[in-house]
Structure 1
Amino acid sequence: MKIDKHTVASVTYALEVEGEMVEQTDKSNPLTFLVGVGMMIPGFEQQLVGKEPGEKYDITVQPEDGYGESDPQAIVDLPKDVFKVNGELQEDLLVEGNVIPLQDQNGSPLQAVVLEVGDDTVKMDFNHMLAGKTLHFTGEVVEVRKATEEEINHGHVHGPGGHHH
């Protein structure tokens, strides 16, 4: 069976960005997803359509089909007070290049990278770490099956490789 909309695909992948390995999976732990519902970045999914189990792939995804371009408005100066816990500044967190887990106004988790530490403020980049980057995926299609009615209605995979209640 070929990968197409409303199939469930299991693939192994290695993701390289600018020549560096970012993530990798193998057959014991493949990436399993419902195709055609926007779970994956568009450039990855579109280029897998039509491939069958056992087929290897090598695809490049440009930023506009991946995590988008880097948004200059997502780079902000935060007052150092934000990084105080019980009144103490978390100096060890505030290191350039550090990724700090934060929360937005709604309490949703965010990650931001420390770009620069000033006297009173910290310049933080809230862009997705892969924004503005060209992504290079290589891997193999492990399994393809038809999605169930329920999976299509819920918009995600159930059972093995999916989520469990």
Structure 2
Amino acid sequence: MKIEQDKVAQIEYTLTNSAGEVMDKSNGQPLAYLHGHHNLIPGLEAELLGKAVGDKFTATIAAADAYGEKHDGMIQQVPSELFQGVEKIEVGMRFEAQSDQGTQSVEIVAIDGDQVTVDANHPLAGQDLTFEVEIMDIRDASAEELEHGHAHGAGGHHH
């Protein structure tokens, strides 16, 4: 069986950035995903298409096909008073913020007096990413998985 639309695949992976730093890895806990349902970044899903159990490969995914390019419009200054209840605001802290587009995750990237600069870009936006992948299992998706749009069970989503 090969990875194709509506198959659930389990993969072991190691993710590194362009400097070779490990950003994430499965650590013996394979990730299960439903192929063709946007459960993974587009570039990695494209690389997985047609692979079979036991296949191993390395793929470098350009930022545009990963978490996208960094957008300056997603970086803004806000007054520090918006962080009421936070004892000490520090660069690197992440918060959930309400915006016109709903809830967004933002990271504090600078503090200048009572002005705080927040970045709503994904932390890996603008970065080319390299994945070392091994295909561990492939199976047909259940009707429930297809209805929900994601894999269930080991390595997948639990309800």
The answer for the alignment partner of 1:154 in structure 2 is: 148
Q: For the residues of structure 1 that align with 2:96 and 2:157, how far apart are their CA atoms?
A: 25
Q: For the residues of structure 2 that align with 1:20 and 1:162, how far apart are their CA atoms?
A: 26
The answer for the alignment partner of 1:63 in structure 2 is: 63
CA contact (8 A) 2:97 2:106 kept: no
1:109 positional shift = 5.3
Greater shift after overlay, 150-159 or 11-20? 150-159
The answer for the alignment partner of 1:22 in structure 2 is: 23
The answer for the alignment partner of 2:124 in structure 1 is: 130
Q: For the residues of structure 2 that align with 1:105 and 1:132, how far apart are their CA atoms?
A: 22
Q: For the residues of structure 1 that align with 2:8 and 2:135, how far apart are their CA atoms?
A: 11
1:161 positional shift = 3.1
Greater shift after overlay, 148-157 or 2-11? 148-157
1:99 positional shift = 2.8
Give yes or no for the alignment of 1:94 onto 2:90: yes
Give yes or no for the alignment of 1:139 onto 2:133: yes
Q: For the residues of structure 1 that align with 2:148 and 2:3, how far apart are their CA atoms?
A: 19
Q: For the residues of structure 1 that align with 2:123 and 2:108, how far apart are their CA atoms?
A: 12
Once the two structures are superposed, what CA deviation does each residue of 1:39-59 show, in whole Å capped at 9, x if it has no partner? 111100010111111111101
CA contact (8 A) 2:60 2:130 kept: yes
Any idea what SS the aligned residue of 1:104 has?
strand
CA contact (8 A) 1:99 1:111 kept: no
Amino acid in structure 2 at the alignment position of 1:81: E
Q: What's the C-alpha RMSD, in Å, of the aligned pairs?
A: 2.0
The answer for the alignment partner of 1:49 in structure 2 is: 49
1:71 positional shift = 0.7
Any idea what SS the aligned residue of 2:94 has?
strand
Once the two structures are superposed, what CA deviation does each residue of 1:90-133 show, in whole Å capped at 9, x if it has no partner? 33x323xx132223248x65432222211220111111001111
1:61 positional shift = 0.7
Amino acid in structure 1 at the alignment position of 2:74: A
Amino acid in structure 1 at the alignment position of 2:24: E
Aligned residues: 158
1:65 positional shift = 0.8
CA contact (8 A) 2:32 2:154 kept: no
TM-score for both structures, normalised by structure 1:
0.87
